[in-house]
């Protein structure tokens, strides 16, 4: 089960959006100074790691995804997304617990604005870590005539967060130091788990994959992909 180390990017536009700044502009000089400091500091304290495992899909039916080893995932939208897939990539990514320690320290010092800023940075970096991984896998499998599908995480759409327990059995989470609480939250908190399918795609064929966001009326969802 490979462990991947990818240095995540801290995208300015994403950070500006989380901070409520229009059109990617952060006008405050004091905020820009804090940004400069914390961009440097977060690079020193994060420990980005990702572990993944490929599994064969035995059967995909309405609402049920059956994997090798008799594991079954339950989600109507996920099953529709994976209906053309023959295999699935299960992954778990984290940037470590260092950034949470900094947030806790800032909260204790009543520096709530900086704590929020660092928390936002952590969210962007772990998301970018996963995006880079999926992009790399997309290039890798494209050369093998396969298409990488949309990424799903437990708690997204109709996939219950309790399915996290099943996903953790499919990944060696100890390799990246992530634990699952009784309430199915991950520790460290800045961690992401999920799956995406591998779809056979003959050369030259324009294969469109199902996007559940197209059927959703929640237009203000931060995870919306359409």
Produce one character per residue of 47-81: b if its CB has 16 or more CB atoms within 10 Å, e if not.
ebbbbbeebebeebeeeebebeeeeebebebbbbb
| 18-32, 35-49, 74-88, 135-149, range with the lowest pLDDT | 18-32
- Residue-wise pLDDT for 95-133, tens only, equals 999 999 999 999 999 999 999 999 999 999 999 999 999
Q: Can you give the pLDDT at residue 204?
A: 45
Q: What is the distance between the terminal CA atoms of the chain, rounded to a whole angstrom?
A: 33
- Domains (range + CATH), the chain: 3-215 (3.40.109.40)
Q: What is the pTM of this model?
A: 0.86
Q: Can you give the pLDDT at residue 209?
A: 61
- Residue-wise pLDDT for 196-209, tens only, equals 999 998 654 555 56
| Token code pair at residue 32 | 């820009």
């Amino acid at each position: 089960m490979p462990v991947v180390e990818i240095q995540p990017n801290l995208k300015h536009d994403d950070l500006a959006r989380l901070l409520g700044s229009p059109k990617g502009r952060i006008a405050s000089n004091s905020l820009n100074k804090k940004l400069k400091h914390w961009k440097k500091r977060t690079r020193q304290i994060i420990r980005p790691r990702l572990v993944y495992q490929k599994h064969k899909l035995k059967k995909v039916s309405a609402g049920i995804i059956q994997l090798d080893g008799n594991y079954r995932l339950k989600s109507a939208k996920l099953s529709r997304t994976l209906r053309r897939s023959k295999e699935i990539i299960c992954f778990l990514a984290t940037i470590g617990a260092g950034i949470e320690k900094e947030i806790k320290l800032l909260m204790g010092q009543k520096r709530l604005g900086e704590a929020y800023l660092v928390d936002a940075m952590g969210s962007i970096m772990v998301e970018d870590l996963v995006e880079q991984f999926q992009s790399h896998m997309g290039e890798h499998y494209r050369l093998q005539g396969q298409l990488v599908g949309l990424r799903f995480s437990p708690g997204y759409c109709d996939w219950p967060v309790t399915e996290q327990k099943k996903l953790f059995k499919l990944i060696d989470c100890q390799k990246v130091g992530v634990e699952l609480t009784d309430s199915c939250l991950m520790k460290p908190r800045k961690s992401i788990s999920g799956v995406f399918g591998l779809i056979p795609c003959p050369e030259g064929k324009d294969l469109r994959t199902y996007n559940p966001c197209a059927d959703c009326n929640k237009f203000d969802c931060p995870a919306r992909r359409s």
